[in-house]
């Protein structure tokens, strides 16, 4: 029997369609005025954290709301260190040239001669990951020739290796140079920024108002209900409303058939999880990486027995896709239910699976039952 498809109920919160994904919803602390630290605690207790902003498009979407106050706290705060390695190791060796007055943030590439260069973090470059060694397997390096921004390179290295490479000596610098000789310049794990996001996210987007951030005030408020949405460095003890966020992805760690999983997601959340974009895929990969599962996990993917095309459980057509092998499974050989791999050579790729097999599964949206 072909299972009917269900429409998702829209969340009452504002869910952003810009980066990082459609799973992210933002919440204003309406009529609650707090210091930055109190706002951070409130957001972490009731949602996920203070909001990170990734782009001008997202800033305009989530801040173009009249809140009754012209400003809200966001998750940006001055950090203790302006230069840091991606993996948190202390910077005790450098081959950087002077930053020639460029505005931060900026990130570091290694050139063919082994010297380092500071460039805009949004540029796309190859990058060097490292794999943490042990007694029998020493530290190793892996050059990724795909070109990505620094933040995307960091995300890739953390998902598939250990992290972007850090360098602590001239000997290590020479080894990294040799490994990357075919793709110079390439990203290494050094980033220069005086600011960091409350949730630890990597976003180098800044939208400072003229004259900001200055040297004294350490927390950031964003203007709302206007066309500019500019940011102002403010005293952390000032009181404003806050902008919180929560990612509405739910990894259900009980095994069910595809149709039983569909029923569960519709009854307890807003529906079976769907993936609409590369941003959705990347956000889901991060969640699955943290969950430490193995084997395929059900998505809200189903194939029409009659027409052979794939569709999401809420009735949406499949636009962007990430099928194993690069093309969707076709009848008559395909199974008609879809899953995402969490391990093995096809990690995070989509595949068709027998609908009667039992797997973990993914729901999205608010918990509508209070479970």
Domains, the chain, ordered by start: 24-79+196-246 (3.10.100.10), 83-192 (no CATH), 249-364 (3.10.100.10)
Number of helices followed by number of strands (H, E) in the chain: 6, 22
56 touches 281 (CB < 8 A): no
| Per-residue exposure over 195-225, b if at least 16 CB sit within 10 Å of its own CB, e if not | bbbbbebbbbbbbeeeeebeeebbbbbbbbe
54-55-56 Cα angle (round to 5): 145
Q: At what angle do helices 278-291 and 150-160 cross, to 10 degrees?
A: 40
The residue ranges of the chain whose pLDDT is under 50 are 1-13, 16-19, 371
Total residues belonging to the chain: 371
* Among 98, 99, 100, 94, CA closest to 114: 94
Enter the tokens of residue 183. Answer: 């793709």
158 touches 285 (CB < 8 A): no
Give Cβ neighbours of residue 268 (< 8 Å, ≥ 6 apart).
Answer: 363, 367, 368, 369, 371
Q: What is the pLDDT at residue 229?
A: 80
Q: What is the pLDDT at residue 77?
A: 97
DSSP assigned state of 176: H
Report the C-alpha gap between 254 and 182 in whole angstroms.
46
Helical ranges in 89-169 per DSSP H: 150-160
State how far the alpha carbon of 134 is from the alpha carbons of 131, 138, 139, 165, in Å.
Answer: 10, 6, 7, 16
Q: What is the pLDDT at residue 100?
A: 53
């Amino acid at each position: 029997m072909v299972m009917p498809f269900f429409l998702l109920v829209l969340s009452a919160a504002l869910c952003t369609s810009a980066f990082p994904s459609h799973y992210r919803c933002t919440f204003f602390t309406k009529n609650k005025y707090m210091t930055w630290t109190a706002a951070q605690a409130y957001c972490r207790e009731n949602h996920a954290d203070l909001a990170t902003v990734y782009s001008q498009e997202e800033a305009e979407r989530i801040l173009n709301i009249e809140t009754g106050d012209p400003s809200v706290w966001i998750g940006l705060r001055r950090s203790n260190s302006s230069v840091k390695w991606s993996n948190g190791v202390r910077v005790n060796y450098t081959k950087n040239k002077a930053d020639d007055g460029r505005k931060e943030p900026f990130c570091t590439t290694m050139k063919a001669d082994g010297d380092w260069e500071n460039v805009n973090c949004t540029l796309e470059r190859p990058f060097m990951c490292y794999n943490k060694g042990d007694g029998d397997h020493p530290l190793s390096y892996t050059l990724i020739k795909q070109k990505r921004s620094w933040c995307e390179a960091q995300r890739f290295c953390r998902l598939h290796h250990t992290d972007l490479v850090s360098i602590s000596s001239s000997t290590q610098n020479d080894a990294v140079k040799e490994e990357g000789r075919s793709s110079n310049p390439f990203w290494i794990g050094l980033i220069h920024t005086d600011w960091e996001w409350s949730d630890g996210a990597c976003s180098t987007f800044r939208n400072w108002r003229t004259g900001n951030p200055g040297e004294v005030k350490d927390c950031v408020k964003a203007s709302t209900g206007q066309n500019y949405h500019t940011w102002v460095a403010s005293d952390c003890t000032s009181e404003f409303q806050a902008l919180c966020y929560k990612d509405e992805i739910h990894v259900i760690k009980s095994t069910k058939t595809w149709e039983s999983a569909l029923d569960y997601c519709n009854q307890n959340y807003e529906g079976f999880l769907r993936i609409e974009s590369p941003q959705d895929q990347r956000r889901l990969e991060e969640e699955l990486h943290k969950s430490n599962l193995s084997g395929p996990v059900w998505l809200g993917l189903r194939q029409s027995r009659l027409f052979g095309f794939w569709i999401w459980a809420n009735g949406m057509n499949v636009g962007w896709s990430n099928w194993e092998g690069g093309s969707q499974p076709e009848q008559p050989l395909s199974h008609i239910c879809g899953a995402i791999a969490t391990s093995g050579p096809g990690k995070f790729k989509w595949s068709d699976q027998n609908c009667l097999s039992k797997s973990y599964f993914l729901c999205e949206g608010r918990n509508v039952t209070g479970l």
